[in-house]
Structure 1
């Protein structure tokens, strides 16, 4: 088996939900990892380099000598487009050999503003001439759980009348490390979690895990966005990816699962 060549990798969003385990796995694989941040306090994050993705300030220095950029930072639709533009510009100026962008399954078919921003960044990369890879993944279980934790004052537990396919963060992190090692591949196969469950099943599992006794009520929302989710555009057909299940996530977070 051939050894993986160590590379110098700059990770945006390297202290976030996905970035933290990805940085750890990259370092475990022998890569020299830098973490981009607006902070100047290098004692807080190992390998920290300072730069502002929203303005572009400091990016020329931060990208200097970088072989691979792993772009995971996200702050909302408008900011994501601005950050994508600055990443592409800085990577081109620094002659970066590989830009990896983490996107979401169905972004080109679901008319959410946040998703449209992801499509725009994908398009920037495709038209930039930069060697790149785009990976789309389904939603993290944290997002599914967030639908229910946000309803702490509701007398019932509302859940969308559709399926979800949560994918564990460590599974996505592991795939990103594989992509860094593989080199530029364009748009790679989408990945989704190992199981599809209904919103009702997800809500009831969360209720059991947290001890909630509220009634679970399925809801349908008018409009194109819900219709796109109901049509399953956010799901990955075929063989599922990864091993981490929604129930395992609940067990790890709450000490109880499905």
Structure 2
């Protein structure tokens, strides 16, 4: 029997990875999050981490926060994994962390480096933005009568359940290093995505494209966060929205 530990196992991605691992065979799957017993651990502090990792074969590291602390959390996790002789550390990252100079992306890239240099067997998968994230961004922009959108920016949203399936497959296999990126099925402009959201939600808003400043914005305009040659996802944004807004169909 293989013992897995999923960090961030109650989050959007981690919850689905946990479910898939539990249904994949005779495995023990431990869920680690700040509030989930019996493995309630704040990775930034590391207290209680040794007990959570003891006897684990594979760690799937989904825990992450744009508010900071990811590098510190990764160092604690790697140290505990070394001491527990963990065989395989799987990490989910983001397409473009090496091309878009956004603070959170730089942190994700730094964590990739820590894992690659850890001495552990490791696998890193980069994915494009989840449909759920795009929906949250558009929903927030629609709070105003006019939706302000960064001019010239496109996105390639991917279905989180498809990423969970790929992570599960990787976790059940041997360490593979950096594997091919995973992108959603379509590259869409932000106005196209916004109009799809408005149609699905039954809302009416004016759209206004706004040019922004900064290198991160330039990186997004240049498509550094996209991977059109690896559009392996199958669920479109409209199909995702149809499930979220069934009453509007």
Shorter-chain TM-score above 0.5: yes
Change (3 A) 1:144 1:38: closer
TM-score by length of 1: 0.91
Shifted more, 145-154 versus 115-124: the winner is: 145-154
Shift of 1:93: 1.0
- 1:168-215 Cα offsets, whole Å, 9 max, x none, are 000000000110122100100000001111111000111111122111
Residue aligning to 1:3:
none
Residue aligning to 2:216:
225
Residue aligning to 1:16:
11
Are the counterparts in 2 of residues 206 and 257 from structure 1 also a CA contact under 8 Å? no
| Aligned counterparts of 2:103 and 2:22: Cα–Cα separation in 1 | 34
Shift of 1:248: 1.2
| Aligned counterparts of 2:120 and 2:8: Cα–Cα separation in 1 | 20
Shift of 1:219: 2.1
Alignment match of 1:79 (pick from 40, 50, 69): 69
Question: Are 1:207 and 2:203 counterparts?
Answer: no
User: How many residues are paired up?
Assistant: 247
What is the 5 A alignment of 1:240-255? 240-255=231-246
Unaligned 5+ segments in structure 1 are: 1-5, 43-47
| Aligned counterparts of 1:256 and 1:174: Cα–Cα separation in 2 | 28
Question: Are 1:34 and 2:30 counterparts?
Answer: yes
Residue aligning to 1:45:
none
Would you identify which runs of 4 or more consecutive aligned residues in structure 1 move more than 4 Å? none
Alignment match of 2:105 (pick from 111, 115, 123): 115
**What secondary structure, in the 3-state scheme, does the structure 2 residue paired with 1:100 have?**
strand
Shifted more, 121-130 versus 152-161: the winner is: 152-161
| Aligned counterparts of 2:171 and 2:213: Cα–Cα separation in 1 | 41
Are the counterparts in 1 of residues 97 and 105 from structure 2 also a CA contact under 8 Å? yes
What is the Cα-based RMSD across aligned positions, in Å? Answer: 1.7
